[in-house]
Copies of this chain bind each other. A is one copy, B any other.
């Protein structure tokens, strides 16, 4: 008899009929001999409806009150699922963030979980009931309702699984697993049977949307096996687990891309110690994350250099007036912006023991005439910034070139 956590996303509970389907699935797992804890997101569209109400009242809503409003989406979904389980002949009880209780810090709209009490959940499953926990929400030390940010129900699922020592956390979604790359732009993409936490973390960070990054971090930290699978079929999905020997054989596990990058070139800053540090120090103070960075000397004339870096496209409008100001202060000639870029990445644990992976990536892209504008690497990934128009070509080329395409 195992203790199982099952997390269902917004599309999985997007209608009364789908909620019934989730109820049947959870009951089937229970009847198969498991103690079952279900984590639910709000019905799809509901969170946006609720946030729309708040924005109808004021342009800049207070974060504390936003969370009070947003948390109702999961509250309703959890109770509806409990009712659906009753209707299918089972027993269930909804539990909210403050009831469980899921204690977070006080960072409204993007809170982080500190601790989770397991007693209410254990009490519930011991009675033979399915515990239906509202995802995405917690409570801070003042008893205020908090939310974990978009995709936060994944985090609730994995964190609850860790807290109660569940044998696994199943993440039910509208795709049937993690793919070697986005099947929408690369038809030969394959479902991955098993992937390591480290690789999953890189893929999620580099643009793959199937799991929230924070949830993978928690799964890795506590060693919770995560099973990403479809809520509309019984097929096995993708297991995200600790690396083991069988994983080592794969050099590249997946190809990711991220269109939310914008390139900024600060042209002709003084090339002396402290200038670049000052530039990035001031950007960081404004809470703007910089991703890739290249400093290149200009063509000889004196002590001037160009600094190229990327920021999130969604941050650019906010960052731009501020960047202009810093540029001026540092004596830059001008600033250039390019939003027509994409970051293409390869990820794989095997890179650690295989030389030449990055070089092979550069050659594959060059052979297709794709110019690389910036590069960043880590122990298990290589990312290249290229013109956005090459997105599909670059992804397919790398997917094929590293042997990921279907046999």
Contact = CB atoms under 8 A, between A and B. Distances in A.
Contacts of A87: 57-58
A397 interface: no
Most chain-B CB neighbours within 10 Å: which of A19, A58, A64, A66? A58
Nearest to A43: B53
Given A57-B16, A57-B19, A98-B98, A69 B64 contact: no
Contacts of A40: none
22 contacts: A19-B57, A54-B79, A54-B80, A54-B83, A57-B84, A57-B87, A61-B83, A64-B93, A65-B80, A65-B82, A65-B83, A65-B94, A68-B75, A68-B76, A68-B94, A69-B75, A69-B76, A69-B80, A72-B72, A72-B76, A96-B145, A98-B143
Interface of A: 16, 19-20, 50, 53-54, 56-58, 61-62, 64-66, 68-69, 71-72, 75-76, 78-80, 82-84, 86-87, 93-94, 96, 98-99, 143-145
Contacts of A82: 62, 65, 68
Contacts of A20: 57
A57 B69 contact: no
A56 B61 CA distance: 33
A40 to B, nearest CB: 12
A84 B96 CA distance: 26
A57 B16 CA distance: 6
Contacts of A143: 98-99
Contacts of A50: 76
Contacts of A54: 79-80, 83
A78 B65 CA distance: 9
Nearest to A55: B83
A103 B55 CA distance: 32
B64 A68 contact: no
Contact of A84 (B58, B68, B71, B144): B58
